[in-house]
Amino acid sequence: MRIRATFVVCIALCTIAFAQDWKQVRKADETKWAKATGLDPSTIHKLWRQASHFPNEKDDDSRIADVDTEGLADHHHVLFVTYAGERNCLTLTVFVQYSETAFSKLWSVDKDPAGQGFCDNDSGSAGADVVNHAIRIRVPQLPSAANDYANYKIYDYEWNGITYRVTGQRDEHGQ
């Protein structure tokens, strides 16, 4: 009976410690991105929550990969990129910014047109940025037998006045 009680206490303490660690990690992420963007940490937290797929933040293991407040600013849009999971799969969310603290979720994507996630693999890391007012997603592809250098699939998403849609898809080769 004593061993069982000790086991239950250990599990409870480990769970609390793990939850506390995630809380500290998230707080550090929010502080980092607040400094980088000029937004308040509480605003960054609200954006992260709106971008989340989980109703309860305790269930969400996502981290912030990027917050771009300038690249889509001509439409008052903010690109918010998170990653989660064992393979660090990206979710891109675009918000309309009404004021320093007021944002509305406009669009989100976490899969390419073929239904595959934007995920890291042994060949490289997935990434997203804004180039010439368009969202560019770069996803590593496994090397083929014909070459041993990294290949990336590039997806371009552009604003059409209503939503963001795929306007280009190409392969890119890297060393």
pLDDT tens digit string along 103-160?
999 999 999 999 999 999 988 999 999 999 999 999 999 876 566 666 899 999 999 9
Instruction: Show the tokens assigned to 39.
Output: 């937004």
The number of distinct structural domains making up the chain is 1
pLDDT digit string, tens, across residues 11-54: 433 444 444 587 898 899 999 999 999 999 999 999 999 999 88
Residue 160: domain span: 2-173
Element of type H or E holding 96: strand 89-97
Q: What is the pTM of this model?
A: 0.84
DSSP state of 137: E
| Cβ count near 73 (within 10 Å) | 13
- Residues near 152 by beta carbon (within 8 Å), at least 6 away in sequence: 124, 138, 139, 140, 141, 171, 172, 173, 174
